[in-house]
Amino acid sequence: MNIEKRVTELVEEKIAEMPHLFLVDVKMQPNGKLIILVDGDNGAGIADCAAISRHVGFHLEEENVIENAYNLEVSSPGIDTPLKLKRQYAKNIGRNLSIKTDDGAKREGTLLAVNEDAIQVAETIKEKGKKAEIVENTIPFDKITETKVLISFK
């Protein structure tokens, strides 16, 4: 039985009662650490993570899915975790992003909008000897290899 697949089913079952949440990732690491990343349109709180942990832990024990000792960790993705889902992009509209594209380019800009196929960003383009210009660009999801939210401490 595929552990990650079963855990994904269990999380989906639990968050059906919590529509503000969504599953980002499930990873079973070789060291026995089972990591579940959940996020919410307004973040995921400790109580949300605890409820998911209890639900998943209970069913994993009852079904004896994992034979070896394991450590279950439920959390929201850290700020350095790349965005994976369109729903994560939507909750970050207005924030600055660092975007890597499949041609090796690294771009930065403010996320303006998200649709089914692409994101729209306002990038500051500075050419030598000219004033910086803000240009709105559309970047298709299929060209993006990684996106991270940039945090400003100003």
Structural domain spans, the chain: 3-75, 86-149
Surface-to-core class of residue 73, CB atoms within 10 Å of its CB (0-12 exposed, 13-18 middle, 19+ buried): middle
Which of 67, 95, 89 lies closest to 77 in space, CA to CA? 89
Give me the CATH code for the 86-149 domain, please: 2.30.30.100
Res 127: pLDDT: 83
Q: Which residues of the chain have pLDDT under 70?
A: 1, 154
Kindly give the residue spans of alpha helices, DSSP state H, lying in the chain: 3-15, 46-63, 86-90
Res 65: pLDDT: 80
Res 57: pLDDT: 93
Beta-bridged to residue 55, according to DSSP, are none
Spatial separation of the C-alpha atoms in residues 94 and 111, rounded to whole Å: 5
Res 1: pLDDT: 59
Res 8: pLDDT: 95
Beta-bridged to residue 53, according to DSSP, are none
CA-based R_g, the chain, Å: 19
- Parallel, antiparallel or unpaired: strands 133-140 and 96-101: unpaired
> In the CATH hierarchy, which fold is given to the domain comprising 3-75?
GMP Synthetase; Chain A, domain 3 (3.30.300)
Kindly report the pTM of this predicted structure: 0.80
